[in-house]
Amino acid sequence: MQNDIEEILISCGEELDKALAHQRNEYLVIRAGRANPHILDKIYIDYYGVPTPINQMASITVPEARILAISVWDASQIKNVVKAIAASDIGITPSDDGKIIRLTFPMLTEERRREIVKNVKKIAEDTKVAIRGARRDAMEMLKDLQKEGTISEDELSTAEKEVQKLIDTYGDKIDDASKAKEKEIMEV
């Protein structure tokens, strides 16, 4: 009985961890006016027929607060990397000198900052939807256990409160991550 409840709580916790990790990964690729190597994480280059992320074929450094320097290990691939970055939706035009590719991040306007904050809030809301789904699934499994006669109504009530406590904790973590990202974006 108790093991079944614990398994459901553990499973729910794992789903909540995944949702929170996804939110944080989404926030990593949001451009906040500073050079951030993670902005390149979703860009792949066709490297001899294999889609390869930039960070697996080049070193990426941040020599200044608003500049990314990409040093491609295979010089024959520089043009392909430049093309892939230009074709991506990051909104930055790469410049290369034949050896190093530079991405200069422009200062964000107030209007653009507000747009990015809206996107941050949307990601947070999508994450909350995911955790509500995890709560719904956990509650259904608990009710199934109660219908089968595996747990009593009191145990069901206690377990539901535990699930809700878990959801509330993760809701706070989502809000904290969202507020921290909004603050970072709105800093001038």
Q: Which of 104, 121, 138 is the last residue of a domain?
A: 104
The Cα-based distances of 140 to 8, 108, 116, 143, 183 in angstroms read: 10, 46, 36, 5, 38
- Looking at the structure, tell me whether residues 163 and 142 fall in a common domain: yes
Domain final residue pick, 104, 121, 154: 104
pLDDT on residue 177: 92
Question: Per-10-residue mean pLDDT for the chain, 188 residues long?
Answer: 82 92 86 76 86 89 86 88 84 84 84 88 94 93 88 88 93 93 81
Domain at 133, CATH number? 1.10.132.20
- The 10s digit of each residue's pLDDT in 160-176 is 999 999 999 999 999 99
2-16 pLDDT tens trace = 678 889 889 999 999
Domain final position from 70, 87, 104: 104
Structural domain range at position 74: 37-104
